[in-house]
């Protein structure tokens, strides 16, 4: 794991002339290509030639003081489900090999390029984004930067995105989040992962998992980095983020479901974070959220992900089913048994569920909870059997997926002490409270890490 630097640090270095876009990109490409590194598993495609050409353009603009945005000339990775013109979007699978290439870049990719980002490559992911573990039998599993001797999962589905940032192969990784796919790998790898309100970033040109739940965001070194990318991806005018006041801030810890099954390290880190926040004047209160306990029943037949996933995959499964990871295809195929009435029942239940949960959040500034209840398990133990894989996947997805169903926004921040196993603290707010949540997160990030 390389020392992680923020976008702000790199922008300052570019302004001062102590580095260049060319140097930053060469450093990233060198780390991707290193035989001792995780580049071969973290990336499914590297854009070395195009990245070097983009860096030259950025350096010319930087020298002329004509930067396009705050990410001018900075190396950024994109998850393997974004369309790039002239390439087939594979989404971590081999089932789409040979299919027609995309005719245009995904809108998110267009916005990144227009902002001056240097896209260094496509990152590996759980096949078709359908798991929170990050294991990929087709392209290999990039190992978590923590404890590589053991070989731990990176979290998914945006596995390569997190590892690309943790290992200095990109400054930011752009990914998707349907049930935690940005926040989980960020939490397990010691980074920040932001899932915006789904409607704020268009899904045009992005291979979907669940059209109702998918959202696009960033994994990065800091809250400010995520806020910068969020503005670009959403097409909003960027305004400098100001930290919220901690004194009197009201945070609710759900006592329903989300605190169950915590391992000792997660419990220790989370309780320590709450104690530090309370000492700074944050009002932390426990609250029962009965709706959380009912979500499994609402989704008992497969829910929105299985039904919407089946709608997209049914023809491909019929033609190329044996090429899928069986642990992915079996979950998608649950949607085949869902009727239109079942699907409508879930949609209606979701509307009522959101209303109920939002009513409980009225007097809160945000909810706070562990992102994932356990530290990253090893790849070998997780993949040892279908039963262990399934149970571990459900446990790791449990907390983050609540906020996707809420149609809310959420962020995972590191809350562990230096040298300890990475642990994520998740802050969540209702739909379209993104800016306020980022402001709160900036203040909490500073409080937890002494900034």
Q: Find out whether 28 and 168 touch, Cβ atoms under 8 Å.
A: yes
CA distance linking residue 419 with residue 128, whole number of Å: 33
Residue 77: helix, strand or coil by DSSP? strand
Q: Using alpha carbons, list the distances in angstroms from residue 406 to 28, 51, 295, 351, 353.
A: 37, 38, 10, 9, 8
Cα–Cα distances in Å, from 190 out to 29, 101, 154, 208, 330? 22, 35, 10, 27, 31
Q: Quick check: 158 and 182 in contact, CB under 8 A? A: yes
CA distance 244 to 366: 12
CB neighbours of 69 closer than 8 A, spacing ≥ 6? 115, 116, 232, 238
Contacts by 355-360, CB closer than 8 A, 24 or more apart: 356/291, 357/289, 357/291, 357/292, 357/406, 358/406, 358/430, 360/252, 360/287, 360/289, 360/291
Composition of the chain by helix, strand, coil, percent to 5: 45, 15, 40
> Which tokens sit at 204?
């045009």
Q: Judging by DSSP bridges, how do beta strands 409-414 and 118-123 pair with one another?
A: unpaired
From CA 106, how far away is CA 92, in angstroms rounded? Answer: 17
Q: Which residues are catalytic?
A: 79, 157, 181
Report the half-sphere exposure of 340 (CA within 13 A, side-chain side).
0
Q: How far apart are CA 409 and CA 77, in angstroms?
A: 22
* Rounded Cα gap, residues 171 and 174, in angstroms: 10
Residues 6+ apart with CB under 8 A from 67: 58, 61, 73, 116
Contacts of 373 (CB under 8 A, 6+ apart): 258, 260, 261, 262, 263, 266, 395, 396, 398, 399
Count other Cβ atoms within 10 Å, centred on residue 408: 27
């Amino acid at each position: 794991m390389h020392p992680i630097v923020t976008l702000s640090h790199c922008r300052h270095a570019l302004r001062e002339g102590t580095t260049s876009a060319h140097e930053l990109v060469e450093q990233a490409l060198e780390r991707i290509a290193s035989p001792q590194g995780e580049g071969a598993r973290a990336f499914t495609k590297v854009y070395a030639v195009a990245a070097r050409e983009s860096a030259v353009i950025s350096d010319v603009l930087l020298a002329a003081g004509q930067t396009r945005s705050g990410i001018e000339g900075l190396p950024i990775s994109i998850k393997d489900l974004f369309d790039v013109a002239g390439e087939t979007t594979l989404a971590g699978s081999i089932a789409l090999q040979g299919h027609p290439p995309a005719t245009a870049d995904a809108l998110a990719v267009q916005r990144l390029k227009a902002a001056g980002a240097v896209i260094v490559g496509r990152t590996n992911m759980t096949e078709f984004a359908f798991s929170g573990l990050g294991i990929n039998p087709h392209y290999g599993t990039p190992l978590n930067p923590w404890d590589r001797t053991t070989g731990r999962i990176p979290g998914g589905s945006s596995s390569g995105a997190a590892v690309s940032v943790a290992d200095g192969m990109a400054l930011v990784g752009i990914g998707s989040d349907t049930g935690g796919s940005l926040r989980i790998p960020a939490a397990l790898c010691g980074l920040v992962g932001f899932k915006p309100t789904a409607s704020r970033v268009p899904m045009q040109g992005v291979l979907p998992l669940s059209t109702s739940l998918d959202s696009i965001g960033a994994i990065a070194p800091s809250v400010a980095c995520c806020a910068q990318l969020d503005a670009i991806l959403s097409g909003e005018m960027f305004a400098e983020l100001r930290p919220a006041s901690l004194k009197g801030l009201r945070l609710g810890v759900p006592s329903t479901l989300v605190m169950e099954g915590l391992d000792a390290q997660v419990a220790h880190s989370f309780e320590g974070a709450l104690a530090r926040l309370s000492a700074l004047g944050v009002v932390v209160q426990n609250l029962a959220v009965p709706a959380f306990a009912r979500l499994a029943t609402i989704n008992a037949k497969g829910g929105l992900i299985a039904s919407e996933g089946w709608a997209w995959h049914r023809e491909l499964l019929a033609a190329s089913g044996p090429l899928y990871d069986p642990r992915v295809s079996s979950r998608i195929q649950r949607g085949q048994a869902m009727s239109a009435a079942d699907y409508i029942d879930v949609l209606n239940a979701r509307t009522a569920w959101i209303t109920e949960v939002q009513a409980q959040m009225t007097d809160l500034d945000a909810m706070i909870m562990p992102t994932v209840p356990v530290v990253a398990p090893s790849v070998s133990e997780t993949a040892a059997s279908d039963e262990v894989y399934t149970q571990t996947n459900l446990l790791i997805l449990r907390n983050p997926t609540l906020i996707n169903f809420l149609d809310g926004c959420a962020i995972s921040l590191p809350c562990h002490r230096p040298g300890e196993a990475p642990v994520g603290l998740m802050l969540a707010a209702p739909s379209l409270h993104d800016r306020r949540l980022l402001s709160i997160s900036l203040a909490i990030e500073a409080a937890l890490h002494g900034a």
